[in-house]
């Protein structure tokens, strides 16, 4: 099955700086790559996603890049704010059938 790895496991940045989280996947058939933000004890919330026919997608301060050849994708958060502090998960899926999650990154934005 699919194996998704995520780095780093923890990340601390100063408010206003950028944060980058990277994921790799193993199954070349995966074609949908969402990113989720999860606050303690709550459900994951989709923040951005990218499909395999696109190399980059941006939504305000959040961007995601995908390198299909290398099987890796990254989340970029610019101008970080304290409310960005949470655990972030990447995931890989084949057309929405079974989602396999990365191990998570605990992001702390220091005011």
For other proteins, give the closer residue by CB, 78 or 101.
101
Q: Which residue has the tokens 């409310």?
A: 83
For other proteins, give the closer residue by CB, 14 or 42.
42
What is the smallest separation between the CB atom of 98 and other proteins, expressed in angstroms?
6
For other proteins, give the closer residue by CB, 44 or 73.
44
Q: Under the criterion CB under 8 A, does residue 107 sit at the interface with other proteins?
A: no
10 with 105: CB under 8 angstroms?
A: yes
Structure tokens at 22: 């990277």
Q: What is the CA radius of gyration of the chain?
A: 13
Q: Which stretch binds other proteins (CB under 8 A): 20-28, 58-66, 68-76, 89-97?
A: 89-97
Binding-site size, other proteins (CB under 8 A): 26
Show Cβ contacts of residue 38 under 8 Å, excluding neighbours closer than 6 positions: 44, 45, 86, 87, 88, 89, 104
3-state helix, strand, coil in the chain (%, to 5): 5, 60, 40
Q: Which stretch binds other proteins (CB under 8 A): 17-25, 37-45, 62-70, 77-85?
A: 37-45
Q: Under the criterion CB under 8 A, does residue 53 sit at the interface with other proteins?
A: no
């Amino acid at each position: 099955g699919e194996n998704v790895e995520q780095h780093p496991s923890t990340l601390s940045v100063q408010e206003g700086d950028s944060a980058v989280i990277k994921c790799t996947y193993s199954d070349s058939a995966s074609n949908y790559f969402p990113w989720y933000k999860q606050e303690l004890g709550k459900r994951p919330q989709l923040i951005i996603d990218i499909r395999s026919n696109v190399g980059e997608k941006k939504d305000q301060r959040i961007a995601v890049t995908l390198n299909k050849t290398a099987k890796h994708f990254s989340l970029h958060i610019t101008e970080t704010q304290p409310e960005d502090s949470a655990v972030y998960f990447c995931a890989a899926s084949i057309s929405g059938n079974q989602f396999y999650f990365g191990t998570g990154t605990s992001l702390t934005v220091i005011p």
